[in-house]
Structure 1
């Protein structure tokens, strides 16, 4: 049964914790996100060069903190296709009204990542 998290979609940021590919230690970043159902979408402006993306490639199990709640999830790097387009559209739509920057190039050129949220950490 999918978890219900849509009420957290208004949060400004999420906190993504990956496992360091070399150290094996938790590494947490603050990052923009958008939600669709129980899937969280992120865009990496650094594409494959971002440490968090490199960590996900090695260990796709992650933790995501939204507000005061923390979830376990499975991350997936998206390739061209409908889900990739959805990720770009909904992250862009969420943040364009909040940004003084033109996010068009960022939303087009970033690497899209999906995280399927599996369950809440108690």
Structure 2
């Protein structure tokens, strides 16, 4: 089992279900937000925990597995998304930024709050192909 397979197994089967449930029940988890995309095949809402990258009317994500992540492929098919930070859902349009430096983006986000620093460390250590996503919130 390679790094990508191990990390995605743990995230999909253990970490993400626990974090997603807590966030949906209104339990605050510093450093986390919930991203809702539309399934590219099913058309159904898909919710995945992501690092809290809220910066004013922009939400930043550094996807740790790039285009291998299902939510990134969903965004490619339909860029309209929702993000839940705290108890509030916000809609927006996602843009995949292939020319952005994801490590530099994480450094910038880390200046906003400590939880972003912790998320950046996890993403860099567990990630296999970092990719920046910018969501322009409505």
Above 0.5 in TM-score?
yes
Structure 2 stretches lacking a partner, 5+ long: 1-28
Tell whether the 8 Å contact from 2:109 to 2:117 is kept in structure 1 after alignment. Answer: no
Which deviates further from its counterpart, 70-79 or 89-98?
A: 89-98
Higher mean C-alpha displacement, 42-51 vs 32-41:
32-41
Aligned to 2:94: 75
How many residue pairs get aligned? The number is 107
Q: 1:87 aligns with which of 105, 115, 125?
A: 105
Query: Within 1, Cα distance between the matches of 2:34 and 2:50?
Result: 6
Aligned mates of 1:41, 1:89 — CA distance in 2: 12
Tell me how far apart the structure 1 counterparts of residues 115 and 73 of structure 2 sit (CA, whole Å): 25
3-state SS, counterpart of residue 52 of structure 1: helix
Using the alignment, how far apart are the partners of 1:11 and 1:95 within structure 2? 6
The whole-number CA distance in structure 2 between the counterparts of 1:50 and 1:102 is 16
- Name the residue aligned to 1:52: 71
Determine if the alignment matches structure 1 residue 16 to structure 2 residue 35: yes
Moved over 6 A (4+): none
Aligned to 2:133: 113
Q: TM-score, normalised by structure 2?
A: 0.64
Give me the whole-angstrom Cα distance separating, in 1, the residues matched to 2:89 and 2:73.
Answer: 22
Instruction: Give the aligned CA root-mean-square deviation in angstroms.
Output: 2.9
Give the secondary structure class of the aligned counterpart of 2:76. helix
TM-score of the aligned structures, taking structure 1 as reference length: 0.71
Which of the two has greater strand per residue? 1
